[in-house]
Amino acid sequence: MKGNVLLFDNQKGWGFIRGSDNKDYFVHYSNIENNGKRNLYEEEIVSFEIGKGTNGKEQALHVKSILTCKMVKKLLKDKGNHIKTIKDQYGKRKYIVFNSDNIMQTDECGMSFKELVAYAGIII
């Protein structure tokens, strides 16, 4: 199944993923399979399987990143752009794109990760 990371506390090692079925699933760092990296970031797109945790409840297992902010930043950098990350009034991460002349290419309020992905021309 695919999903988006709703939140993940990299210090505590747990968070939640919203699956394509619109349900939220607990994820523990021990179930992340990203070449040894055991962290996730808000809004990243992941694939995972649903299984039972040690407490018998459904949770995300075999979690793998499909699309990360780092991947999108690299693609935009290769096109001569760079990204500034900000937080909105609700504490949500937003992204502003600048071209090589440091001219803002997006709204000053920033875009969500999903909007940034679309701006970069990535189809998921």
- Cα–Cα distance for residue pair 101/118, rounded to 1 Å: 22
* Boundary of a domain, candidates 23, 44, 66: 66
Residue 104 lies in a domain: yes
Same structural domain, 42 and 73: no
Average pLDDT, the chain: 93
Taking Cα atoms as reference points, which of 114, 122, 74, 68 lies closest to residue 92?
114
Give how far Cα 60 sits from Cα of 9, 27, 84, 121, Å.
15, 5, 31, 28
Same structural domain, 17 and 38: yes
Mean pLDDT on 105-114: 92
Residue 124 lies in a domain: no
Give how far Cα 45 sits from Cα of 55, 68, 80, 103, Å.
26, 7, 24, 28
The whole-number pLDDT of residue 105 equals 94
Same structural domain, 62 and 12: yes
Answer whether residue 124 shows pLDDT above 80.
no
The whole-number pLDDT of residue 37 equals 82
In tens, the pLDDT along 22-80 reads 999 999 999 999 887 888 988 999 999 999 988 889 999 999 999 999 999 999 999 99
Residue 98's pLDDT band, with cuts at 50, 70 and 90, is very high
Instruction: For tokens 């793998």, name the residue.
Output: 64
Same structural domain, 73 and 93: yes
Q: Which domain holds residue 33?
A: 2-66
Same structural domain, 73 and 111: yes
- Both tokens of 94, joined, read 């937003």
Answer whether residue 110 shows pLDDT above 80.
yes
Residue 47 lies in a domain: yes
The whole-number pLDDT of residue 58 equals 95
Do residues 27 and 48 lie in contact, with contact meaning Cβ atoms separated by under 8 Å?
A: yes
Same structural domain, 75 and 38: no
Q: What is the pTM of this model?
A: 0.82
Do residues 106 and 97 lie in contact, with contact meaning Cβ atoms separated by under 8 Å?
A: yes
* Number of structural domains found in the chain: 2
